[in-house]
Structure 1
Amino acid sequence: MSQNTPITLATWRTSDVIATAFRTVPDFIPTARIAAAPAPSDLPEGPTADFGAFDVALPPDRHFDLPALLAATATDAFLVLQRGRIVHETYGNGLDADTPHILMSMSKAVTGLVGSVLAEAGTLDLDAPVASLVPGIADTSWRGATLRHLLDMRAGAALDAATLAAYAAATGWEALPAGAPPADLARFFTGMASAPGTHGGAFKYDSANTDLLGLALERATGRSYAQFVSERLWQPMGAAHDAFVTVDSRGAARCSGGVCATARDVARLGQLVLDGGRRGARQLVPARVIDDLWTGGDAGAWRAGQFGASFGAMGLGTTRYRNGWYIVDGPPRQLFAMGIHGQNLFLVPDHGLVIVKLSSLVTPIDPPAIMLAHRAVTEVARLLLP
C-alpha cells in the first residue's frame, strides 16, 4: 500500500499502515479533545540508564538486548522514569515525544481512575445498579450489574457472535457495509436482546463493560468523557499535550480503548499513581483511590477467570484486577495497564519505576510479545536498583 493511500476504517490495523495509523487516529476516526494543562508539570531528565547488560531470554536459546527486544515487539515508544526522572526514552516507527498514540485498552485504566475519583467525590455510587444511570439496559444482560461489576470485569453479560459484531459496529472503529443502519453505543446497549447475566463471579473481560460505564459516567456528571477526564485528571496532573478519545456517531466516547496520548503524558499519569495520587504538595487523586488500586480486586475471581491460566504461565505470581488496572504481587510488585497491539504502562514501586511501552504490533494479542514486555520490566528493574 502506498504511503499516500488514505488510511480508512477498513485498513487502519493492517501491516502496511498500522504504525502510521496509531499516531494519526483523529485523521480517520472522530475524536473529542481532552485538554492539556495550561502549565505542564516538570518531567526532568537523567541520569541516563545504562542498559548495556540488558538481556532477556526466551526458550530454547533466544536472547534479546534492549534494541532487539524493542524491534521484535514493534515498539513505537519506550520511556522509563525512575524517581520521577526520564532515564531512558526511545521512539520508533515515526512516533515522537509530541505525538499522541492510541492506548487501546490502557484507556480502561484512565476510565477506572477518573471513575473512582468521581465516586470518592460523591458524584456516583459504585455499588449502584448501572440501570439507575442508563435505564435502557434494564432489560438486557446487564440487568442487575453495578458500576463496580463493570469496573472490575465481573459483569456476566452474555454476548454472542452477532452481539459482538453489533458492538464493534457501534464503536465507530469498523467500516460499515453499504446500506447498514446507523450504529452507536447507546443504541447498541439499549437495543441489545435480553439474555440472562449473572454478575459478581469470575473475571470476564469484555470491553463493552467499560463503554457502558462511560455512558453512566457521562450521565452522572452531565459532562462528556473528554471534559471530565480533562478537568479531573489530565489538567490537574500537568499533561503537556492534549489527548484525544475516539467517539461514536453520536459523540459518545469509546473509553474502553480510544484514548490517544503522548508517551510522556502516560508517564505523568503513571508517576501520579506511583506517588500516591500526589503532584508535589497537592493530593490530586484521593489516597484511598490509589490504595484501593494496590489492595483491591479479588484474587479468586482472577484465578477462576479467563486470563488466570495464561498469566500464571508467564510466572507473574498472584494477580488481581481493579478499576481497569492489573496488580501483580511480584516479585517485582507491579501495577500495570495494557492494551492490544502492544500497549503497556508498568509501575514498579520498589524500584521507583514507571515504564511506558507503546507499540504497533499487527497481531492484536501476541503472547510472545506480551512475554517479552513483562520480562523487559523485570530486567529493567534488575538493572536499575532502588
Structure 2
Amino acid sequence: GATIRELIDMRAGIVFDGAGLQAYADAAGWEPVAPGTTPNLHDFFATMRAQAKPHGGAFSYVSSNTDLLGWAIERATGPSFASLVSTLLWKPMGASGEAFITLDPKGAPRCTGGFCATLRDFARLGQLVLSAGRRGSHAIIPETWLDDIRTNGDAQAWRDGQWRDSFAAISRNMHYRSGWYVINDQPQLTFAMGIHGQNLFVDAANAIVIAKLSSWPQPVEGPSIWLTHKAVAEFTRCIMAAR
C-alpha cells in the first residue's frame, strides 16, 4: 500500500521483527544460506508478512524500501536497473570507470547497497548535483528534482523519526528527501550516507563536493558520523580561507 514517494522518503510503515530481518538478509544473498535454498528479493517481497504502521508517518530507514524501488523502476521501464543507471546517469556524467551492482541469486539488483565505483566517480556524482544536474550544456538530472530534494522534505517527519537524536549533536534542523539528507543550517548541506562510513557531501553555497569512502567496523557509528561532519566543516573553512 505504500506509494513510491513514501518508499523513497523512508516513510513507509513497514516494521520487521528479527525473523523478517533475517529473511531479508537471506534474500539479498550477501551471506551463506541453508543448502538447497535459493531465497531472493522478489520472492521475499511477494511473501513478506511484516507488521506495518500507517504509511506517510515519521522517517524510518528500512533498507528494503530501496530494493523495492529498484524493482518498481524495472517494472515501470523494462530495462534492468544497471542498464538504466548506465544509460541515464553513469555514461552521461562522464564516469571514468565502470561501476558494478550486486545481484541476488536470481538477478534482482541489491539497490540499497553493493553499488561499487571509484572514489573519483563517486565525487563526479556530487559534482553533477552541485552543477544543477548538468554536465556542460547537457541536462542529466532535472534541476526541479534537485530543488525538490533541497526544499520539500518534511522536517516534522525527521523530528519524529528514527535518527533525530543520533544527529542532534550535528543539527536539529534537518530533513530527508529522495534518498538524501539535508541539513538546513547555513550553509545548507546535502549529503548521501551509506553504512560503514560512505559519504557524499554537496555544499552548493560554497561550491564544494566531498566524497569519502570508509570501512568502519559497525554499520552506523554515531561518534564517527559526528567527527565526519566536524571534519567537513573544517575542510570547508580551510578551502574558503584559501580562495
1:157 equivalent to 2:18? Answer: no
Kindly state the Cα deviation for residue 194 of structure 1 after the two structures are TM-superposed.
5.9
- How does the TM-score come out when normalised to structure 2? 0.96
Matched letter for residue 14 of structure 2: A
Alignment map for 1:69-148 (pairs within 5 Å): 144-148=1-5
Aligned equivalent of 1:346: 201
Percent identity reads 53
Aligned equivalent of 2:101: 245
Residues in 2 aligned to 1:176 and 1:194: alpha-carbon distance in whole angstroms = 21
Residues in 2 aligned to 1:218 and 1:177: alpha-carbon distance in whole angstroms = 29
Residues in 2 aligned to 1:145 and 1:352: alpha-carbon distance in whole angstroms = 36
1:184 equivalent to 2:40? Answer: yes
Flag structure 1 segments of 5+ consecutive residues without an equivalent. 1-143
Aligned equivalent of 1:307: 163
Which whole-Å deviations, capped at 9, do the CAs of 1:145-174 have from their partners, x for residues lacking one?
Answer: 000000000000121110110000101111
Out of 231, 239, 242, the residue aligned to residue 384 of structure 1 is 239
CA contact (8 A) 1:297 1:321 kept: yes
> What is the aligned length?
241
Out of 167, 190, 203, the residue aligned to residue 335 of structure 1 is 190
Find the structure with the greater CA-based Rg.
1
Flag structure 2 segments of 5+ consecutive residues without an equivalent. none
CA contact (8 A) 2:93 2:124 kept: yes
Cα gap change, 1:317 to 1:194, in 2 (>3 Å): closer
CA contact (8 A) 1:172 1:248 kept: yes
Which whole-Å deviations, capped at 9, do the CAs of 1:194-226 have from their partners, x for residues lacking one?
Answer: 644410000011001110111110111111110
Matched letter for residue 155 of structure 1: A
Matched letter for residue 175 of structure 1: P
Q: RMSD of aligned C-alpha atoms?
A: 1.2
Aligned equivalent of 1:167: 24
Cα gap change, 1:196 to 1:327, in 2 (>3 Å): closer
Aligned equivalent of 2:176: 321
Residues in 2 aligned to 1:186 and 1:374: alpha-carbon distance in whole angstroms = 37
1:193 equivalent to 2:59? Answer: no
CA contact (8 A) 1:172 1:184 kept: yes
Q: Match of 2:205, SS?
A: helix
CA contact (8 A) 2:13 2:57 kept: yes
CA contact (8 A) 1:317 1:330 kept: no
Residues in 1 aligned to 2:204 and 2:147: alpha-carbon distance in whole angstroms = 13
